Amino acid sequence: MQGTMCGIVKEARGEGLVYKTDLPIPQIGPDEILIKVKAAALCGTDLHICDWDTWSQNRVRPPMVIGHEIAGDVVEIGENVTDCKIGDRVSVESHIPCKECWFCQNDLAEICKNVELFGVTVPGGFAEYAKIRSDCAFHLDDNISYEHACMFEPMGAGVHGVEAAHVEGKTVLVSGCGPIGLTAITAAKVFGAKKVIACDLIDEKLEIAKEMGADIIINSGKCDLVAEIKAMTDGVGVDAAIDITGAGAAINNALKSVRAAGRMVCVGLPSKEVTMDLTEDLIYREVEMTGISGRRIWGTWESFAKVMQDPRYKIERIIGHEFKMADFQKAIDEVKSGVPGKMILKP
Ligand SMILES: [Zn+2]
Ligand SMILES: [Zn+2]
């Protein structure tokens, strides 16, 4: 497709983003599709790119359109594309695997060693149109709105964390009740957890956790979390714990709350090294500890589609306000001032 479009651009190495109205519409290759973007969501990563922190400096190659949590309609397909057709409603997997490395060959594409990141290392989707390799498009059921479809990518980390925790029939601790933690709580219930305990430092978030399926809520700032959990599990501990916070103290508390031979899953990213007592808390107790990266392609997406349909999943608690892409700065300002929820941007 020829012509120009609007979009949010990282124009040069340095701070800031600009909204432009004269960008060329991306030209697709033989394996790619062109998506008319209907909705997008603002991510913490986009704020890092705006602020131009070290993480961004090492990955982003300006000038380019940013944004990676998007949904829209397929309007053009490349000559080799057989898995998408014009008119399909899709969302996008932001991890573009190489399909050739050892990990891709062993069904671990989410940790591909040559991964490209949509909207980070290659141009993204905060624009009227975006292109992506066709096998990175997730096909949406008709009953999923574009706004809700933008939640697959970011909330998928929470769902993947629950998948990695093997929760069926188990007592599970979810530490951290922001949007990803709340998603993990409902996901744990949907995947058959017997009991979900949610902890956070903020009572308002814990109330929402309860609405979204938590059986027990604990304000870990007001009590000794480990003692509290031991008391409610006959001194044994939870079968599995999922840390969403990435905070060292919270990770340690979650690890100590897991029973011997239980499972600990780290989802939240610590900003610095975390110290742990591996001898006492992990080795002697045979705890299994793992991390997750991104989403299983497409297992996590299909799981989340189920979670989204569950009446316990209150997606309106996950999504914040809606803005035109031209007003993206207002969305960033709201996030920075602490307004909760994922902000939606529309072309
Ligand atoms: Zn994101
Ligand atoms: Zn690969």
Please report, for residues 157, 243, 263, 345, the alpha-carbon distance to residue 165 in angstroms, rounded to integers and kept in the order given.
12, 11, 6, 33
What's the pLDDT score for residue 175? 98
Give 79 Cα–ligand 2 centroid separation in angstroms.
23
Domain coordinates of the chain in residue numbers? 4-151+318-346, 157-291
Give 305 Cα–ligand 2 centroid separation in angstroms.
25
Which ligand is located closest to the Cα atom of residue 102? 2
Query: Which SS3 state, helix, strand or coil, does residue 273 take?
Result: coil
What's the pLDDT score for residue 179? 96
Catalytic residue among 4, 48, 139, 183: 48
Backbone angles phi, psi at 168, to 5 degrees: -55, 125
pLDDT per residue, tens digit, the chain (347 aa), is: 999 999 999 999 999 999 999 999 999 999 999 999 999 999 999 999 999 999 999 999 999 999 999 999 999 999 999 999 999 999 999 999 999 999 999 999 999 999 999 999 999 999 999 999 999 999 999 999 999 999 999 999 999 999 999 999 999 999 999 999 999 999 999 999 999 999 999 999 999 999 999 999 999 999 999 999 999 999 999 999 999 999 999 999 999 999 999 999 999 999 899 999 999 999 999 999 999 999 999 999 999 999 999 999 999 999 999 999 999 999 999 999 989 899 999 99
Whole-number average pLDDT of the chain: 97
For 317-333, the pLDDT digits (tens) are: 999 999 999 999 999 99
For 28-78, the pLDDT digits (tens) are: 999 999 999 999 999 999 999 999 999 999 999 999 999 999 999 999 999
**What strands lie across the sheet with 238-243, from one edge to the other?**
216-219, 195-200, 171-175, 238-243, 258-266, 288-291
Residues around the ion ligand 1 (C-beta < 5 A): 43, 45, 154
What tokens were used for 1? 């497709």
- Per DSSP (E only), the strands in the chain are 4-10, 18-24, 32-41, 64-65, 69-77, 89-92, 95-96, 116-117, 129-133, 137-139, 171-175, 195-200, 216-219, 238-243, 258-266, 288-291, 319-324, 342-346
Dist CA 75 CA 132 (whole Å)? 12
Residues around the ion ligand 2 (C-beta < 5 A): 97-98, 101, 104, 112, 114
Peptide bond into 123 cis (omega under 30): no
What's the pLDDT score for residue 347? 97
Dist CA 72 CA 82 (whole Å)? 18
- Residue 166 is a catalytic residue: no
Q: How many CB atoms lie within 10 A of CB 106?
A: 9
Give 295 Cα–ligand 2 centroid separation in angstroms.
14
* Superfamily (CATH H level) for 157-291: NAD(P)-binding Rossmann-like Domain (3.40.50.720)
For 149-164, the pLDDT digits (tens) are: 999 999 999 999 999 9
Dist CA 265 CA 94 (whole Å)? 22
- Residue 290 is a catalytic residue: no
Please check whether residue 94 is in contact with residue 301, taking contact to mean a CB–CB distance below 8 angstroms: no
Which ligand is located closest to the Cα atom of residue 294? 1
Catalytic residue among 4, 45, 186, 300: 45
Give 261 Cα–ligand 1 centroid separation in angstroms.
33
Q: Which of 67, 64, 68, 56 has its CA nearest to residue 11? A: 64
What's the pLDDT score for residue 271? 87
CATH topology of domain 4-151+318-346: Quinone Oxidoreductase; Chain A, domain 1 (3.90.180)
Give 68 Cα–ligand 1 centroid separation in angstroms.
6
